[in-house]
Amino acid sequence: MHEPKLYVIMGVSGTGKTTIGKLLAEAVGIPFFDGDDFHPRANLEKMESGQPLNDEDRHGWLVSLNQLLKSRKESGAVVACSALKKSYRAILNDGLMGQLKFIFLEGSFEEVKTRMVQRKGHFMPLELLQSQFETLEEPENAIKVSIRDTPSQIIQKLLDQL
């Protein structure tokens, strides 16, 4: 079986999914897609108002990301997506068994909170961070990297494992 060329960078908001996703995509020569860009307006408005998304809100968004991944099976892609629950990862992985690799950016609540306080201009309010940690079901079959490392250290560790 060939190595997957489809990667989902996952974790709670504030772990650096977009930063790491862009760097990984550049390092391996495939396009990057930010999952947040695929949220319907209603989801963004709900989060901006401080309300966490529920499974129903996320379903159509996850299906659209799965369709994106399927369309990139030959050329590859890196997608940043929280993918917090096992059921969400199953939707993302539908029809892609063995071709999709999840990369989990791990950090404690305090580490992520510190980062989010410093972040400007993002739709996700700090108040929703706790709900993300409560929703998170840590993946079993993912590459796990700590957000304590610098982005370049994280990329080097990922390239060593991929």
Q: Which domains does the chain have, with CATH numbers?
A: 6-161 (3.40.50.300)
> Residue 128: its pLDDT value, please?
74
Indicate the length of the chain as a whole number. Answer: 162
Average pLDDT over residues 67-96: 96
What is the pLDDT at residue 50?
A: 80
* Segment 139-150 mean pLDDT: 94
Whole-number mean pLDDT of the chain? 89
pLDDT given at position 121:
54
pLDDT in tens, 27-53: 999 999 999 899 999 998 888 888 888
Q: 104: which DSSP letter?
A: E
Q: What are phi and psi of 32, to 5 degrees?
A: -110, 140
In the predicted structure, residue 122 carries a pLDDT above the cut 70: no
Task: Collect contacts of 54-59 with beta carbons under 8 A, ≥24 apart.
Answer: 55/85, 55/87, 58/88, 59/91
Q: What is the amino acid identity at position 8?
A: V
pLDDT value, residue 1: 35
